Structure 1
Amino acid sequence: MSVLLNFAIFPTDKGASVSQYVSKVLDFIRDSGVSYRLNPMGTTIETETMQEALEVVNKAYLILEPLADRIYATINIDARKGPIGRMDSKISSIENKIGKVNL
């Protein structure tokens, strides 16, 4: 199974720039060994199980919880039976079709 989970999580009570808090979460994700890609609006991870993906989000929350009184999070999930590697293959599929008209 391939679980793609895109999420954003950050404190809302720390001012306009929260990159120092988000970087703590990214340090954890990088060290976890989970495949990930940072994007301007969040981070996408790919795991083999839903439980593993949700554990990453929970651990991210636990990193921020002692540092903030209020934490905001959004999550989008795409779970599909089959092999992992969709984080790259989904993008490649679209890029290969750009400029081709197939109506």
Structure 2
Amino acid sequence: MAILELTLVPIGTEATSVSKYVAAASKILKESGIKHELNPMGTVLEGDPDELLKVVRQMQEEVFDAGAKRVYSVIKMDDRRDKEAHMEEKIKSVNEKL
């Protein structure tokens, strides 16, 4: 199980607001059924690494389809093999140490 954080930055758009592009990409993610959580600076996804990377590519294409001429993507992935990891557990572990 992997946890991936994705930030998609549309470039070459007519306006400075990017919410319509984020919404378009988020619809792809919602339809995929992959567990995810939107945050102010990106989206966290949880699942099989191959499935996550496949849906990331679909999300990038959706941003292009929404009118962006260029898409800058930042991907961070934690692919842990020694035990199953979940995004909530990572947050809980830090909070317990505060």
Corresponding position of 2:52: 53
Corresponding position of 2:84: 83
C-alpha separation between the residues in 2 aligned to 1:17 and 1:63? 16
Structure 2 unaligned segments of length 5 or more: list them: none
Q: TM-score, normalised to structure 2's length? A: 0.88
| Larger radius of gyration between Structure 1 and Structure 2 | 1
**Aligned partner letter, 1:77:** M
Q: TM-score, normalised to structure 1's length? A: 0.84
1:26-74 per-residue CA deviation (whole Å, 9 max, x = no partner) reads 1221221111111111001001x22111001101011122322111111
**SS where residue 84 of structure 2 aligns?**
coil
Structure 1 unaligned segments of length 5 or more: list them: 99-103
C-alpha separation between the residues in 2 aligned to 1:80 and 1:87? 12
C-alpha separation between the residues in 1 aligned to 2:9 and 2:64? 10
**Aligned partner letter, 2:64:** E
Aligned residues: 95
Q: How much identity, in percent, do the aligned residues show?
A: 33
